[in-house]
Amino acid sequence: MKTLTTITVAVMLSTSTMPLLADYSKDFSVADDPLYIKACSSCHFAYQPGLMPARSWQKMMLNLEEHFGENVVVEKQKALTEYLVKNAADFSNYKRAVKLIRSLPKAQIPLRITEIPYIMRQHDELLPEMVRGNPDVKTLSECDICHSGAELGSYSEDDINIPGYGPWDDDSFSLYLSHFKNDVGKFYNDLFITKVKVKGEIIAIDDHLITIKPANLQLDSDTMQIDIQHAKFKNGNRANLRPNSVIEVKGGWDGNHLYARKVEFDLNAKVKGQIIAINDHLITIKPYKMKGIPLNNDTVQADIQNAEFEDGNHTHLRQHAFLKIKGNWDGEHLYAHEIEFED
């Protein structure tokens, strides 16, 4: 028994002296420099250096006399700049920092995190009354007001709590009602609306009204009309709507129409491979992994005209680049919804 205890203590002592490895699966590296914390957190949230590219930090630190309307004086400005640049998104392996830098055109030098495409996309579902019209929030720039894990570099949806609205929930029907009231202009308290989730195939599209054939609901009619005017799209966008596509819709049903809050595409194909040709919005891929596409296809033609880029944009497309595409296969083309670069 003594021997076992001694060995256990020795192992504990040994591992306690080992350096902790960074968990790059998390969002951003923690802002841990005492000089930076002292200089910046007295006025605003101490943003993680990985929230901006190095070129942005450099430009900002060279112009502190006009720092968003303030003349800011800091101690050891050179050392502070070196810390920010060294830990900027360009040099980070943390999950969201990598996505952030890939979303930025190389010529862009944002001085506000709210100007960064990735950050903008992550907040595009918020309604104006949740932020600018919310006296407890007012701006997206104070991250820690809604993100309880912001100080630790964590921006998970599970840690979001919006003052006056509560925890963030993609399926929250109260958010849908708020959206409905805000955009339509009037809302009657006695209006009967039932929360509905429906999945089905699109059979007709008429501007913001689409007709689907529900697969999981039994109605008096074989079809359901859906108003998508104010809907948020997941894994695609409105331009991806086509007859025969299968979608899942969440929203409010008033007995005649489903007012969509969220639309998600049921994507039937996925391909990973290397670009071998680019012709306008059509790219040809030599696949090394496919799902939902016949295996006898040596190449796959993908229509990327309406695709959304997870990390990067159209300017990053080039021959020999490796990427992953999710979309719908019609027997000849893969209509891309999501593109993610792998190199």
pLDDT tens profile 183-219: 443 333 334 456 788 999 999 999 899 999 998 777 6
pLDDT of residue 158: 84
pLDDT in tens, 274-298: 999 999 999 999 999 999 998 888 9
CB 45 within 8 A of CB 142: yes
Range of weakest confidence among 67-76, 110-119, 173-182, 216-225: 173-182
Under 8 Å CB-to-CB from 53, ≥6 apart: which residues?
88, 89, 90, 101, 104, 109, 110
Asked if residue 94 lies in contact with residue 50, where contact means CB atoms within 8 angstroms, the answer is: yes
**Three-state SS at 326:** strand
* Mean per-residue pLDDT, 248-263: 85
Between 119 and 179, the more confident residue is 119
Q: Domain 269-341 has what CATH class? A: mainly beta
- Contacts by 164-170 with C-beta closer than 8 Å and gap 24+? 164/130, 164/134, 164/136, 165/130, 165/134, 170/262
5 strand-pairing partners:
none
Q: Quickly state the pLDDT bin for 1 (edges 50, 70, 90).
A: very low
- CA separation for the pair 134, 152 (Å, rounded): 25
**Orientation angle between helical segments 54-61 and 77-86, nearest 10 degrees:** 170
Mean pLDDT of the chain: 82
**DSSP string covering 243-276:** TT-EEEEEEEE-SSEEEEEEEEE---EEEEEEEE
Q: Where in the chain is the domain with CATH 2.40.50.140?
A: 176-265, 269-341
Lowest average pLDDT, out of 100-104, 170-174, 181-185, goes to: 181-185
pLDDT at 165: 81
pLDDT band at 23 (very low <50, low <70, confident <90, very high): low
Radius of gyration of the chain (CA): 25
Distance between start and end Cα atoms, the chain: 53
> How much is the pLDDT for 343?
66
Which DSSP symbol is given to 147?
A: B
Using 50, 70 and 90 to split pLDDT, how confident is the model at 170? low
The residues, ordered by sequence, that sit 6+ positions from 59 with a Cβ below 8 Å of its Cβ are 109, 111
| CATH tag for 176-265 (out of 1.10.3720.10, 3.10.580.20, 2.40.50.140, 2.30.140.10) | 2.40.50.140
The count of other CB atoms within 10 Å of the CB of residue 94 is 22
Copy the structure tokens of residue 339: 């593109």
Residue pLDDT, tens place only, 76-89? 889 999 999 999 99
Give pLDDT, residue 256: 79
The CA–CA distances, whole Å, from 161 to 88, 130, 148, 169 equal: 27, 11, 7, 9
User: Please, are residues 265 and 240 in contact by the beta-carbon 8 Å criterion?
Assistant: yes
